[in-house]
Every structure is written in C-alpha cells, then in structure tokens.
C-alpha cells in the first residue's frame, strides 16, 4: 500500500505519479545527488584558486600586498556562477529529457494510449512537465543551500535570489511548453531541441558572466524603477507566451490533426500581441529614447509580417480538412443552444469566421482588421501630422501583402504534393526575401528609389523619404488588390474542385 502522500499524489495526478515512480530509482537518485555535489565542489575549488596569491581579482585596492580580500565580491561570483549552471541544467537538460521522452512515447504508440485515459489533457501534460525532469529538479534542489549562502554572503539583496528562481520557473515553463509543442508538430530530435534552447540561452549566460565584476557597482547604483519597468515588460510577455503555448499544446494533444489554434483563439491572440507591442513602444518612449515615428512604424510592420506568417501557419488547415469541409459543409447544422433557430444550416459566413476546417483567409483578414484598428489609432496619436497619411497607407500596403501570403500559403497546402508545408515555407520565403535582395544588389536602395520599393515585400522601408508621394502608394495598393483578387479566385476554384464528389468528377471529367 502506498503512503498517504503518494496516495494523494496518485489521486491528484496519476500521470505525475507514473513519471516519478519510473524515474526515482535508487541508482538514478544517487547519480543526480552525486553530480550536484561534485559540481558544487568544483565551483568552490575553482573560486578558491582565484584567491591571492594566484590572482588579485578580489583584492581590496587600498590594501598593499593584498592582505584584505573582498569576500562579498568573491561570493557574488559564486552566486552568479551557480545561477548560470542551474539555468543551463534546468533548461537544456529539461528540454532534452522532455523531447526524448515524448518522442519515445510517440514511437512506441503509448502516447495514443494515454490519450484514451479519462484524465484531462491539462493533468497529463502537467504530469509530464513536472515528472519527466524530476531528477534535474532534485539536482537543483541539492544546490539550493550553497546558492542561498552565496547570496547572503555576497551582500546582494535577498530578492535577487527570489527573482532568479521566479525567472527560472517562468523560463522552464516556457521552454518546456515550447519543446512539447514542437514534438506535437513533428520535431522529435532531442539534441536539436536542446541545441536551439542553448542558442537562446547563451547570450544571457554570457551577459551574467561578463558583468560579474560589476556587481558592486550595480548594487551601489541600484535603479529600482528601471528594473521594475523592464522586469514587468519581460514577465508580462513571458506570461502571455506561456498561456498561449499552453493552449496550443493542449489543443494538439487532444487532436494531433487539428490546426494549432482555433480561429476564435487567434482573434484573442492577435489582440493580446498588438496591445503588448504598442505598450512596448509606449514604454520605450517614456524612457526618453529617441522617438522617431518612421522607425517605430518600420519595427511595427516588420514584426507583424513575421508574426502573421506564424499565425498563417497555425491557422491554415491541411488539404484533407479543406476537402471534407467543402464536400460536407452543407450538411452541417447549428446545435448551439443559444441560437434562435437550432438545427438550421450553418451559413458560409459563420463557417469562414469560426470553423476550424474552413480556409483561413477570412480569419486572417479579421485579425488584420484588429491590428489595423490598433495601429491606426496609434498613428493618429503621433505629433507629426505630415506623415500620418503615408503611415496609414504603409500599414495598408503591409496588410495587403500578408493577405496575399495567406492566400498563397493556403493554395500551396491544397496541392497534392509530398510535404506541402515545406513547399509553402520555401515558396513564401523566396517571395519575401529574394525580391528585396535583388533590388538592393542590382537596382536601388530604398533611399534612392522609394517608389520602386512600394512594390517590394518590405514597402514600409520607403516611409519617411522626401521623394515618396501619396499617388504611387495608392497605385501600389490597387496593384496589390488586383493580385489579391486573383489569388482569392484561384483559391476558391481549387476548393470547389476539392469539394466535388467522386460522381461529379466522373460526370465532368475532372482530374484529381
């Protein structure tokens, strides 16, 4: 019979109990504890060798022959080093273990078996996140006493320790979430996920190590307001990212063939992202940074271009889903209890706005409208009235491009080829990057020919040029609308052909 704490754990989350039971073997626990203690011993020995007479890094300047040592500075170095090791161990090690475990579960087919259990997806995924890296958690917990002592002995505020562990928990949840998400997207190479994590982590570790010697100065010039503002921006961004990745992970776990997010979720996601982005610009301006409206607009358009490319990938259904929707859409009825006419056929407009199997173009358009409302409202608050109209037209140019890319991506996904997603990425990448590259190398820079760049994939690079006129911008917008109408027409014809029944194809002589 299990003890009462284990019985409570089993009742609360059987998946977590399963993971812990499978990993907390005597041999594994001994290895984790030994590795943690040996690492701490090595750190202490390395810093011991850095004391005089070998090095004078921690000598007090006023003391001749280095008879006095700045022990607080020495312990601060140990604190930063332990923090770097913990961060590396928890993130890279945890991501590797999670991806390897889930890839093994998928390969053996046990993940599908777990899906059949009555547990909720939240409990199963939480059990994975908490249970799979349990040995890494144990190794980190063994280092906590030395980490706490180093913090106290270095005269650093105790909230540095609490802040570090708070940031560590948030970072672990983010990277662990993202690693599970990538596994559900088909990335099963644990070494690749760990390498990508290390690439993101390396700059932070480097900064922590480079500024170890400046700890006394940082303490002396402790700017609480700056830290609070910067910390609030980062923490709020991490919380939002964690929430939406968690939603996507739960959705893909329940249905591996579904789109990453639903259309309804995309509207909320876009709203949150745009509010966060504009608040970032507002805070940057408050911090007395050089406010140049054109530069902010370029950043806004560039970030939104790549953000919407990601949203397009998350919203666009695959060929089979579109085919089922086009063929059987007329048979769907509205079973919503709040609907006045229950059982009536769902209209095409409702399907395009809300259905998960319908094409994503209308949903992308609605998300662009949400972005346009916020972006134009922000532009109207600018002090410089001379560029407001050209800035709004620049936004329209950028949003037209995104709609064209959305229609192109959806059309490519409907073509019967192997790995259509790879084809979509390759073709869109060529459309986005080859044209401006050719313009820069062989023709002209945006400063020299801003009107020509209005027809490129980065038309907002022309904003702020004196020779840029409104008429060429309107001509470029009309040209984009012509391309968009043609792309939409071709996409509609393709969907109609996919939705035709087998008997209709035989009667009309239509080919697959």
Q: Can you give the pLDDT of all 512 residues of the chain as single tens digits? A: 455 665 565 667 788 888 888 888 999 999 999 999 999 999 999 888 887 766 667 777 655 566 677 788 888 888 988 999 999 999 999 999 999 999 888 888 888 888 877 788 888 888 889 889 999 999 999 999 999 999 988 877 887 888 889 888 988 999 999 898 888 877 778 888 888 888 888 877 776 666 555 555 554 454 555 556 666 777 788 888 889 999 888 888 888 888 888 888 999 999 999 988 888 877 766 554 445 677 788 888 888 989 998 899 888 888 888 888 887 765 554 544 444 444 445 677 888 888 878 888 899 999 999 999 998 988 888 877 777 888 888 899 889 999 999 999 988 888 887 878 788 888 888 888 887 787 777 766 666 677 777 777 778 777 755 556 788 888 888 988 999 999 999 988 888 888 775 445 544 555 54
Domain limits at 300?
A: 263-508
The answer to whether residues 238 and 370 belong to one domain is no
In a domain, 2, yes or no: no
Per the listing, tokens 């928990």 go with: 169
Dihedral sign from CA coordinates of 258, 261, 266, 270: negative
Answer with the one of 254, 271, 297 that is the final residue of a domain.
254
The answer to whether residues 242 and 271 belong to one domain is no
Structure confidence at residue 289 (pLDDT): 46
The answer to whether residues 428 and 290 belong to one domain is yes
The two three-digit tokens of residue 363, written as one number: 């949903």
Question: What total of structural domains would you count in the chain?
Answer: 2
CB atoms within 10 A of CB 474: 13
Q: How far apart are CA 405 and CA 484, in angstroms?
A: 9
Q: How far apart are CA 42 and CA 91, in angstroms?
A: 21
The answer to whether residues 240 and 298 belong to one domain is no
Q: How far apart are CA 26 and CA 46, in angstroms?
A: 30
Distances (CA, A) of 149 to 38, 75, 152: 17, 9, 5
Q: How far apart are CA 354 and CA 264, in angstroms?
A: 6
Selection from 450, 460, 455 nearest residue 293 by Cα = 460
The answer to whether residues 248 and 268 belong to one domain is no
Structure confidence at residue 364 (pLDDT): 92
* Helix 158-184 with 224-254: angle, nearest 10 deg: 30
Q: How far apart are CA 429 and CA 422, in angstroms?
A: 10
Selection from 360, 393, 368 nearest residue 379 by Cα = 393
The answer to whether residues 206 and 72 belong to one domain is yes
The answer to whether residues 201 and 314 belong to one domain is no
Q: How far apart are CA 117 and CA 120, in angstroms?
A: 8
Query: Environment class of residue 151 by beta-carbon count within 10 Å: exposed (0-12), middle (13-18) or buried (19+)?
Result: buried
In a domain, 184, yes or no: yes
Dihedral sign from CA coordinates of 138, 141, 142, 143: positive
Question: Which letter, b or e, does each residue of 205-232 get, where b requires 16 or more Cβ atoms within 10 Å of its Cβ?
Answer: beeeeeebeebeeeeeeeeeeeeeeeee
The two three-digit tokens of residue 48, written as one number: 């011991």
In a domain, 466, yes or no: yes
Q: How far apart are CA 364 and CA 315, in angstroms?
A: 8
The answer to whether residues 235 and 346 belong to one domain is no
Size of the chain in residues: 512
The answer to whether residues 299 and 233 belong to one domain is no
Answer with the one of 208, 233, 254 that is the final residue of a domain.
254
The answer to whether residues 374 and 344 belong to one domain is yes
Which H helix or E strand runs over 69?
none
Answer with the one of 254, 275, 306 that is the final residue of a domain.
254
Distances (CA, A) of 389 to 48, 353, 477: 65, 30, 14
In a domain, 3, yes or no: no
Structure confidence at residue 226 (pLDDT): 57
In a domain, 1, yes or no: no
Q: What angle do CA 243, 370, 404 make, to 5 degrees?
A: 100
Structure confidence at residue 340 (pLDDT): 42
Structure confidence at residue 507 (pLDDT): 47
Give the global pTM: 0.77
The answer to whether residues 412 and 480 belong to one domain is yes
Say which residues have a Cβ less than 8 Å from residue 18's Cβ, sequence separation at least 6: 127, 131
The answer to whether residues 354 and 242 belong to one domain is no
In a domain, 382, yes or no: yes
Local structure of 333: helix, strand or coil: strand
């Amino acid at each position: 019979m299990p003890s009462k704490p284990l019985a409570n754990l089993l009742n609360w989350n059987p998946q977590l109990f399963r993971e812990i039971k499978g990993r907390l073997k005597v041999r594994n626990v001994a290895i984790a504890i030994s590795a943690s203690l040996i690492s701490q011993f090595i750190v202490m020995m390395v810093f011991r060798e850095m004391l005089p007479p070998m090095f004078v890094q921690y000598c007090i300047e006023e003391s001749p022959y280095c008879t006095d040592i700045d022990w607080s500075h020495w312990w601060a170095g140990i604190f930063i080093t332990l923090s770097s090791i913990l961060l590396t161990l928890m993130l890279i090690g945890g991501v590797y273990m999670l991806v390897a475990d889930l890839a093994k579960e998928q390969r053996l087919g046990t993940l599908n078996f777990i899906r059949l259990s009555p547990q909720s997806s939240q409990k199963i995924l939480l059990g994975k996140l908490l249970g799979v890296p349990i040995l890494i958690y144990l190794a980190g917990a063994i280092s906590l006493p030395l980490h706490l002592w180093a913090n106290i002995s270095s005269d650093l505020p105790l909230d540095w320790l609490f802040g570090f562990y708070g940031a560590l928990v948030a970072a672990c949840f983010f990277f662990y979430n993202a690693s599970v998400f990538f596994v559900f997207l088909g990335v099963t190479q644990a070494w690749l996920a760990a390498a990508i994590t290390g690439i993101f982590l390396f700059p932070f570790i480097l900064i922590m190590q480079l500024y170890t010697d400046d700890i006394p100065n940082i303490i002396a010039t402790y700017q609480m307001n700056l830290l609070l503002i910067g910390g609030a921006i980062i923490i709020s961004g991490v919380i939002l990212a964690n929430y939406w990745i968690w939603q996507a992970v739960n959705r893909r776990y329940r249905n591996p063939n579904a789109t990453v997010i639903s259309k309804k979720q995309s509207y909320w996601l876009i709203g949150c992202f745009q509010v966060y982005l504009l608040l970032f610009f507002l805070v940057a301006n408050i911090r007395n940074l050089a406010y140049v409206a054109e530069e902010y607009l370029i950043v806004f358009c560039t970030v939104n271009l790549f953000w919407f490319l990601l949203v397009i990938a998350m919203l666009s259904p695959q060929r089979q889903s579109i085919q089922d929707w086009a063929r059987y859409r007329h048979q769907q009825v509205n079973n919503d209890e709040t609907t006045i006419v229950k059982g009536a056929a769902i209209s095409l407009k409702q399907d395009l706005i809300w259905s998960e199997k319908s094409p994503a173009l209308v949903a992308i358009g609605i998300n662009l409208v949400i972005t346009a409302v916020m972006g134009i409202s922000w532009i109207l608050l600018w002090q410089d009235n001379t560029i407001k109209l050209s800035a709004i037209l620049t936004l329209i140019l950028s949003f037209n491009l995104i709609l064209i890319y959305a229609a192109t991506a959806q059309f490519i996904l409907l073509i019967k080829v192997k790995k259509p997603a790879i084809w979509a990425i390759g073709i869109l990448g060529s459309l986005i990057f080859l044209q401006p590259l050719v313009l820069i190398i062989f023709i002209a820079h945006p400063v020299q020919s801003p009107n020509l760049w209005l027809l490129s994939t980065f038309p907002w690079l022309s904003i702020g040029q004196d020779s840029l006129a409104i008429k060429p911008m309107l001509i470029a917008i009309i040209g984009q609308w012509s391309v968009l109408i043609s792309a939409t027409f071709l996409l509609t014809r393709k969907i109609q052909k996919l939705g035709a029944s087998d008997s209709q194809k035989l009667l009309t002589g239509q080919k697959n």
